[in-house]
Amino acid sequence: MELILALAIGVLVGSGVWLMLRPRSYQVIVGLCLLAYGVNLFIFAMGRLYVGAAPIMPKGGFVDPTAYADPLPQALVLTAIVISFATTALFLVLMIASRGVTGTDHVDGKERHS
């Protein structure tokens, strides 16, 4: 499981970085999304990996905390997803505006060779 997750994060982040460095704004936004996915998975992994463990303990009494998944990274991921979703949406709006204003989808607003 560790290997699969590590590979998944690596592939997501690697392709995200590559896409983010591309000149087309559409590639950049897809790259940012992939990066955000990779980072979210990474936060998740930092709470250690559990299989079939609930993150929420039953009410009252002492329970063995090792039998439960760490809830904190899950809360962090939730916040991070919301924030990255919102900023990506804003980026999309800006991207479309830029396309409309400049007439090109190059991130600099003009083609390099023209």
**2 is a contact residue toward another protein (CB under 8 A):** no
DSSP state of 110: S
Among 2, 51, 56, 113, binds another protein (CB under 8 A): 56
> At CB < 8 A and 24+ separation, what contacts does 2-10 make?
2/49, 5/41, 5/45, 5/49, 6/45, 8/38, 8/41, 9/38, 9/41, 9/42, 9/45, 10/38
- Nearest Cα to Cα of residue 80 among 49, 56, 46: 46
Among 63, 78, 85, 111, binds another protein (CB under 8 A): 63
When the beta carbons of 18 and 79 are compared against another protein, the nearer one is 79
Number of H helices, E strands in the chain: 3, 0
Least CB distance to another protein at residue 113 (A): 18
When the beta carbons of 7 and 79 are compared against another protein, the nearer one is 79
Q: Which residues bind another protein (CB under 8 A)?
A: 20, 25, 28, 32, 35-36, 39, 42-43, 45-48, 50, 55-57, 59-66, 68, 70-73, 76, 79-80, 83-84, 86-88, 90-91, 94-95, 97-98, 101-102, 107-109
